[in-house]
């Protein structure tokens, strides 16, 4: 009778440990994947923020308007 209780307790412990390890592992994996996606999106946003490069506000700034100067 004691052996059955011991074996049952060990099996229940193994099942609970296995399930908790599985769910903890999947949770941590999902967190790391989400962190990598967020990091990549931030890098893409930073790269696409400067699409136009240096914007010239005055198009006539370096233009020679008077040919006699």
Q: What is the distance between the terminal CA atoms of the chain, rounded to a whole angstrom?
A: 111
CA–CA separation, 10 and 63 (whole Å): 86
Map out the domains of the chain as residue ranges. 17-41
Q: How confident is the model at residue 49 (pLDDT cuts 50, 70, 90)?
A: low
Q: Is the pLDDT of residue 20 over 90?
A: yes
Which has more pLDDT, 67 or 52?
Answer: 67
Question: Across residues 2-26, what is the average pLDDT?
Answer: 93
- Residue ranges of the alpha helices (H) in 1-69? 2-49
């Amino acid at each position: 009778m004691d052996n059955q209780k011991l074996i049952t307790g060990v099996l229940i412990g193994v099942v609970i440990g296995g399930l908790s390890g599985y769910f903890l592992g999947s949770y941590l994996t999902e967190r790391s994947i989400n962190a990598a996606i967020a990091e990549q999106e931030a890098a893409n946003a930073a790269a696409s923020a400067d699409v136009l490069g240096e914007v010239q506000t005055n198009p006539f700034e370096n233009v020679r308007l008077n040919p006699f100067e």
